[in-house]
Structure 1
Amino acid sequence: MKAVAYKEFGTTAVLQTVEQPKPTIKADQVLVKVKAFSINPMDWKIRKGEMTLMSGSKFPKNTGTDFAGIVEEIGSSITGIKKGDEVFGVVKNMMKEGVSSEYVAVTSSLVWKKPADITFAQAASIPVVGTAAVTALEKMGDINSKSSILVNGATGGFGMFLLQLLKQRDAKVTAVTSTKGIAYAKGWGADIVIDYTKEDVLSMKATYDIVIDLSGTMGYKTAKQIMKPKARFLNPTPKPIEIPLSILGNLFTGKKHIAILSSPSTRCTDILLNAVNKGLQIEVNKVFPFAQYKEAYDYAEQGGYIGKVAVEIN
């Protein structure tokens, strides 16, 4: 089968199309013919060697974490899923596994039936950022209509899910985005939208109960300027060293630095599927054909787009 792999850390230049054996499955696994996979920032962080403490340096490596496709084969112990089902899912260990191939073998507990009214590209966009959004929501604690929340970098894939989930909680949400993201942020539930190309949220007088930086450009030290005395800063892309340092630092300050560490699960996916059934929008900004996977990763890494980027495999 065809797959995208790399044999050294680096830019998209290290990605190449290779021939790999079609996976064989264990009793608790399903074999899925991949129709689409989505691109996440962790993909290129791993590929560039920024996560070697967790990813290791064993090559070759595939890329991609979440996917959607059609069940080709089921393990002997599987119930509830059958051959021919349209599903979406995620690999168990994103640091060492990948889905950028024609087929993928996955533990059945990390595969779910695709809603009929969304595309494969939309379904493949759910697991990673959707789970992160659910986890972030839970890390915010007891939020209500009096809670003031700032979402910085609000209209990427993560923000797309988070804004819509926050709307269900009636929290007062301020979204920071680009000019082209304003309409999306408002449509997804933001009460106030700040265009960062025209205004600086740090220069305003408002302070917040929760600040979450999805753009990776603010950081805890900067965010403290606009945090209330007992506010929380949520960090969705912590560097390995920031995790223990934040835990230690939180012992001595009222303004907390919370690292978001999420892992897709049926519990989170049930929440997301319920939201999708209630009309949650999944914006896929651009879908690339498999032959243009390098262009897809280049496009995704440049940032500045709305929603998600996906790759389709015919």
Structure 2
Amino acid sequence: MKAIVYQQFGTTNVLQTVEEPKPVMKADQVLVKVKAFSINPMDWKIRKGEMKLMSGSKFPKHTGTDFAGIVEEIGSSVIGIKKGDEVFGVVKNMMKEAVSAEYVAVTDSLVWKKPANISFAQAASIPVVGTAAVTALEKMGNIGPQTNILVNGATGGFGMFLLQLLKQHGANITAVTSNQGTAFAKKWGAYSVKDYKKENVLSQKATYDIVIDLSGKIGYKTAKQIMKPKALFLNPTPKPIDIPISLLGNLFRGKKHIVILSSPSTKQTDVLLSAVKNGLEIEVNKVFPFAGFKEAYDYAEQGGYIGKVVVEIN
């Protein structure tokens, strides 16, 4: 089978396709013929060596975390999934495993049946950012119409899910995005939308109960100036050092710095599947063919697009 690998840390230039044998399944795994996989920021953070303390420096490495496809084989202990099922899923350890290949073997607990009303590209877009959005929602606690929430970088993949989930709770959402994202942010649930090229929320008088920085460009220290005395700052893109520092600091301050660490599970996926059933939109900004994987990663890393970027495998 064809697979995307890299032999050293670096830019997209280190990515290449190679021939590898099909994965050998374990008893609790399913073998999936991959039809699509999505691109997430963690893909290039690992590839560039920014996460080497967790990913290690052993090569070759693969890329990609969440996928959709058709079940080719099932392990001897697998129940509830059969050959031919259309599914989507995610690898257990994104630091060590990957899905950018024609076939992937994945534990059956991390594979779910694809809703018939969405495409493989849309389904592949769900696990990583969808789980992160559900986790962020859980960290926010009890929210409602009186909860003022600022979502910075609101119309990427993460924001797409988060805005729509927050809308279900009736939260008062201010979204910061680009001009091209304004209509999407309003449609997905934002009460107020700020074009970051025209308005600086940090210089305005408004303060918030919750600030979540999906762009990774504000940071807790800067966000404190627009946070209410007992507000939360949610950080979905932490550096390893942020985890212990935030935990220690929160013992002594009113304005909390909350690191979001998410891991896909059936409980969280059920929330997402229910939302999809009830009309949650999954915007796929651009789909690239497998042969154009370098272009896909270059495009994704530039940012500024709405929704998700996906690579399809025919």
User: Secondary structure of 1:299's partner?
Assistant: helix
Aligned to 1:129: 129
Aligned to 1:36: 36
Does residue 294 of the first structure (1) align with residue 294 of the second (2)? yes
Superposed CA offset, 1:236-261 (max 9, x none) = 01000010000011111100000000
Equivalences for residues 250-261 of structure 1 within 5 A: 250-261=250-261
Q: Give the C-alpha shift of residue 53 in structure 1.
A: 1.0
User: Secondary structure of 2:228's partner?
Assistant: strand
Q: Give the C-alpha shift of residue 221 in structure 1.
A: 0.6
Aligned to 2:54: 54
- Higher mean alpha-carbon deviation, 160-169 vs 195-204, is at 195-204
Separation in structure 2 between the aligned mates of residue 233 and residue 313 of structure 1, nearest angstrom: 39
Equivalences for residues 75-90 of structure 1 within 5 A: 75-90=75-90
User: Secondary structure of 1:252's partner?
Assistant: coil
Equivalences for residues 242-257 of structure 1 within 5 A: 242-257=242-257
User: Secondary structure of 1:8's partner?
Assistant: coil
Q: Give the C-alpha shift of residue 8 in structure 1.
A: 0.4
Aligned to 1:229: 229
Aligned to 1:95: 95
Unpaired runs of at least 5, structure 1: none
Q: Give the C-alpha shift of residue 203 in structure 1.
A: 1.2
User: Secondary structure of 2:151's partner?
Assistant: strand
Superposed CA offset, 1:221-242 (max 9, x none) = 1100100000000000100001
Separation in structure 2 between the aligned mates of residue 45 and residue 195 of structure 1, nearest angstrom: 27
Separation in structure 1 between the aligned mates of residue 49 and residue 141 of structure 2, nearest angstrom: 34
User: Secondary structure of 1:281's partner?
Assistant: coil
Separation in structure 2 between the aligned mates of residue 13 and residue 195 of structure 1, nearest angstrom: 33
Separation in structure 1 between the aligned mates of residue 115 and residue 58 of structure 2, nearest angstrom: 36
User: Secondary structure of 1:89's partner?
Assistant: strand
Q: Give the C-alpha shift of residue 293 in structure 1.
A: 0.2
Separation in structure 1 between the aligned mates of residue 31 and residue 66 of structure 2, nearest angstrom: 14
Separation in structure 2 between the aligned mates of residue 98 and residue 135 of structure 1, nearest angstrom: 22
User: Secondary structure of 2:198's partner?
Assistant: coil
Separation in structure 1 between the aligned mates of residue 117 and residue 24 of structure 2, nearest angstrom: 31
Aligned to 1:111: 111
Does residue 195 of the first structure (1) align with residue 195 of the second (2)? yes
Aligned to 1:275: 275
User: Secondary structure of 1:58's partner?
Assistant: coil
Q: Give the C-alpha shift of residue 212 in structure 1.
A: 0.1
Moved over 2 A (4+): none
Aligned to 2:144: 144
User: Secondary structure of 2:268's partner?
Assistant: helix
Separation in structure 2 between the aligned mates of residue 242 and residue 202 of structure 1, nearest angstrom: 22
Amino acid at match of 1:102: E
User: Secondary structure of 1:53's partner?
Assistant: helix
Amino acid at match of 1:86: E
Separation in structure 1 between the aligned mates of residue 187 and residue 145 of structure 2, nearest angstrom: 18
Q: Give the C-alpha shift of residue 4 in structure 1.
A: 0.2
Q: Give the C-alpha shift of residue 141 in structure 1.
A: 1.1
Separation in structure 1 between the aligned mates of residue 49 and residue 189 of structure 2, nearest angstrom: 36
User: Secondary structure of 1:5's partner?
Assistant: strand
Separation in structure 1 between the aligned mates of residue 142 and residue 257 of structure 2, nearest angstrom: 17
After superposition, the CA RMSD in angstroms is 0.4
Q: Give the C-alpha shift of residue 142 in structure 1.
A: 1.2
Percentage of identical aligned residues: 82
TM (normalized to structure 2)? 1.00
Q: Give the C-alpha shift of residue 74 in structure 1.
A: 0.2
Separation in structure 2 between the aligned mates of residue 98 and residue 6 of structure 1, nearest angstrom: 12
Amino acid at match of 2:257: H
Q: Give the C-alpha shift of residue 128 in structure 1.
A: 0.1
Aligned to 1:19: 19
Separation in structure 1 between the aligned mates of residue 109 and residue 130 of structure 2, nearest angstrom: 17
Unpaired runs of at least 5, structure 2: none
User: Secondary structure of 2:50's partner?
Assistant: coil
Aligned to 1:10: 10
Amino acid at match of 2:198: K
